[in-house]
Amino acid sequence: MHQIEAFKNRLKKIAKPRKKWADKTGTSAYRLYDADIPELPHIVDIYDGNAVIYDRGVAHKDQALDESELVKAVAEALNILPERVHLKGRRRMQGKDQYVKLGESGALIAVTEESSKYLVNLTDYLDTGLFLDHRPLRSVMRRLPVGCKMLNLFCYTGSVSVAAAQAGAVTTSVDLSQKYLEWAHDNFRVNGLDPDSHEFIRADAREYLATPVDKSRLFDVVFLDPPTFSNSKRMKGFLDVQRDHGRLIERSMERLAAQGTLYFSTNKRVFILDTYLSKRYLIEDLTEATIPEDFRDRKIHKAYRINHRS
């Protein structure tokens, strides 16, 4: 009982100031609770007045809260209906597991982020279709120059591509999943963007990068955010970001114009950038600058800006 009350009190304490901050920054999708209480290492994200709880589990089973208690506590603390609270088990997921389907509702709601709208699904998948920790990186994309050519590899639901397209960039989005490419199309449409004015390629990004480079069709910006690990049946072999990031970055840089910029991000918690890359390219660590204010977890991702050496 003490734990559930502590959880509720923490949510009540931070709900209003966090909502005020979110309104000021123009987002209706943000992290409210990020394992603030060590004994209750849950995550609570807000999506336009709906709450998603990720139950990461606790070290001792006798400390775990009942699922119904969690949902009730969040609903009461935020003064919302229990039907607007969604609970998901947040295990240490690897690669394709984060995209495993949990339901079949197909229900999408739109959330706002600065000038963008994004469609999210709060029930059918472990992840919602929008990586909240990439908000600052999407903000960078909204400031790209008009006419910029942008390549988004492992594009997922295309949120980064939408941000770039809103700035006037011409985008190419690559992903192996037809489902997520269709979702990306919908994200373009909900923002009043014509998907037919942009390119969507269904392919394993590694195979796409392995194809011959057309030097007359280089990109000004490349966004590279591979999964930590993937062994999807639709891809050859498997992808391990620690093992493979060097080759991915090299091949991405081959498609980058001389004055272009590659943004590389990974969610691998223990990640070491290959040292030879710093000798070959100009690399700036953007990690601290790209962790959102609403995230207590400072290891949620690592991010780098990479340019050619002149």
- The string of pLDDT tens digits covering residues 50-61 is 999 998 655 445
pLDDT at residue 233, as a whole number = 60
Closest CA to 165 of 229, 120, 223, 238: 223
| Residue carrying the six token digits 């490349």 | 222
CATH of 2-91, one of 3.30.750.80, 2.70.240.10, 1.20.1250.20, 3.40.50.2030: 3.30.750.80
Q: Does domain 131-308 have CATH number 3.40.50.300?
A: no
CA distance 35 to 11: 11
Q: What are the residues facing 200 on neighbouring strands?
A: 173
pLDDT at residue 101, as a whole number = 52
Helix 178-190 to helix 159-166 angle (10° resolution) is 30
pLDDT at residue 135, as a whole number = 98
Q: Is 147 left (phi over 0), alpha (psi -120 to 50) or beta?
A: left
pLDDT at residue 144, as a whole number = 98
CA distance 196 to 62: 54
pLDDT digits (tens, 9 = 90+) for 84-116: 999 987 544 444 444 455 555 668 999 999 999
**What is the pTM (predicted TM-score) of this model?**
0.92
CA distance 167 to 144: 6
Closest CA to 162 of 106, 223, 216, 218: 223
CA distance 85 to 71: 6
Q: Where are the chain's structural domains?
A: 2-91, 131-308
| Residue carrying the six token digits 């997921």 | 93
Q: What are phi and psi of 15, to 5 degrees?
A: -60, -50
Q: Is 10 exposed, middle or buried (0-12, 13-18, 19+ CB in 10 A)?
A: middle
pLDDT at residue 2, as a whole number = 78
Tell me whether the CATH fold assigned to 2-91 matches the one assigned to 131-308: no
**Distances from the Cα of 234 to the Cαs of 54, 96, 152, 180, 237, in angstroms?**
28, 11, 20, 14, 9
Kindly list the averaged pLDDT for each block of 10 residues, start to end, along the chain of length 310. Answer: 88 98 98 94 97 74 72 97 89 44 72 98 94 98 98 98 98 97 98 98 97 96 94 73 97 98 97 97 98 97 97
Cα 262 from chain centre: 17
pLDDT at residue 47, as a whole number = 98
